[in-house]
Amino acid sequence: MRIEEDAPGKRVLLMGNHAVARGAIEAGVQLVSGYPGTPSSEVIEALSEADIDAHVEWATNEKVAFDVAVGGAIVGARSMATMKNAGLNWIMDMLMTVVYGGVRGGLVVYVADDPGAHYSSNEQDTRMVAMYAKIPCLEPANQQEAKDLTKLAFDLSERLELPVMVRSLTRISHSSGDVTLGEIRRERNRLAFDRHWKMPYRWNVYGPPGPVAKHKWLFEQLPKAKEAVEEIGEPFNVLELNDSDVGVVACGIAYGYVREAVERLGVKVNLLKLATPFPLPESKVRRLIESSKKILVVEENEPVVELQLRDLAQRMHADVEIYGRHENSLIEPYDELSHNRVTAAIAKLAGVEFKPLKPAGEALKDLVAPRSSMLCAGCPHLGTYWGLKLALARKGGKVPIVNGDIGCYEQG
């Protein structure tokens, strides 16, 4: 199929990044800018090949990509910037400024995190940045939600006049799943620059009304964001109360691990499936706290939801124990989640036995000699580095430094 196919209701198999691209198409995206970085790159690749009425470009770097998207959103275009976790660090200057003035057209920041650091130098959790910037963050549990939440993010952004982050993970972005296509929005936002849109000198940095007044405006958007999140129900935010003392919060991809663990252990838990790690759907969280004596928060990687849950429980004066990846950790605060790690944590909280399966990686250690990652077979950089090696050998092989570029080919 082509990613832009107009076939509402059709079921297709899509990679997570292609599902995000499809969600942007269904939302009527008008401008997309990004910089390649695994595991996010396929979004731009898919959109650049699609026959759609939108401008799609590879930018010089993530900052330029975000600047372009912000410019589009300010004049009213539905815009999206794409990047991996490390790339988000490059956009902080503009991000922390644009939230003070907001946007006209929907602005979605798609970030693909990499728990386990499969393709990255760290495991940073970009949801922390969403909290810091005070913008909503949506986190899909599967490929269907990757499409649907991307589409929803544009509507949410225009409602709040703020950027909205969609946070994916390697296991979502680079795996494939069943996706039902939706309708494509054909209407396009009218583009115009109005410097006084809803506010005098809306996008001035230092002039009137000034950063403090705009900071106040940003704080005034938070209750509206919480109200909007409360309206996001099934299948994204779902609370199941099963008359249990044990509660579990499963954020994003963690929901699959939790479902599998509960079924395997044969235990009953109160379960909150969560697609909005910031802000939280407070009414559902309150009901979970009131119905449970012990709560386990399962999320990738940092205790973003867990810390908010602890704060709310304290304000409620609730007699509840909260576990996760922070204090009272039942899941180590590093490396990606797995069936064994999640099942062991739930088993301990529920007081049942669990014999973990031997991880595939452990079994492979007995069969394969340890080695670092390698360039793919057929990669042209293999020839590049082989030629460089031969050339250096002819010159005596003495060279102080050989620099590579970003990405996988720095392995040379």
Domain boundaries, the chain: 11-230, 238-350, 380-411
pLDDT in tens, 26-73: 999 999 999 999 999 999 999 999 999 999 999 999 999 999 999 999
372 CB neighbour count, 10 Å cutoff: 5
pLDDT at 400: 60
Q: How far is CA 298 from CA 111, 294, 324, 330, 346, in A?
A: 20, 13, 6, 10, 10
Radius of gyration of the chain measured on its C-alpha atoms: 23
Half-sphere exposure of 4 (CA within 13 A, CB side): 15
Is pLDDT above 70 for 227?
A: yes
pLDDT in tens, 295-311: 999 999 999 999 999 99
With CA atoms as reference, report the closest residue to 49 among 7, 17, 27, 90: 17
Average pLDDT for 13-21? 98
- Tell me if 330 sits within 8 A of 349, measured CB to CB: yes
Positive or negative CA dihedral for 284, 285, 290, 295?
Answer: positive
Q: Tell me how far apart the alpha carbons of residues 354 and 261 are, in angstroms, rounded to a whole number.
A: 10
- Tell me if 182 sits within 8 A of 153, measured CB to CB: no
Map residue 322 onto helix, strand or coil: strand
- Tell me if 296 sits within 8 A of 324, measured CB to CB: yes
Q: Where are the beta strands (DSSP E) in 211-305?
A: 238-240, 246-251, 270-274, 294-298
**CATH for the 238-350 domain, from 3.40.50.920, 2.60.120.580, 2.60.40.10, 3.40.50.11390:** 3.40.50.920
Per-residue confidence band for 405, with pLDDT thresholds at 50, 70 and 90 = low
Average pLDDT for 335-362? 90
With CA atoms as reference, report the closest residue to 373 among 117, 112, 173, 87: 117
Is pLDDT above 70 for 397?
A: no
The distance of Cα 101 from the centroid of its chain, to the nearest Å, equals 23
Map residue 150 onto helix, strand or coil: helix
- Tell me if 303 sits within 8 A of 127, measured CB to CB: no
- Tell me if 89 sits within 8 A of 122, measured CB to CB: no
Average pLDDT for 392-411? 68
Instruction: Report the C-alpha dihedral over residues 390, 393, 398, 399, rounded to 10 degrees.
Output: -10
Is pLDDT above 90 for 20?
A: yes
With CA atoms as reference, report the closest residue to 149 among 275, 284, 277, 279: 275
- Tell me if 114 sits within 8 A of 173, measured CB to CB: no
Q: Which residue has the tokens 């990846």?
A: 325
Per-residue confidence band for 358, with pLDDT thresholds at 50, 70 and 90 = confident
- The answer as to CATH 3.40.50.970 being correct for domain 11-230 is yes
pLDDT in tens, 158-181: 999 999 999 999 999 999 999 999
- Residue of higher predicted confidence among 245 and 205: 245
pLDDT at 47: 98
Q: Tell me how far apart the alpha carbons of residues 134 and 128 are, in angstroms, rounded to a whole number.
A: 10
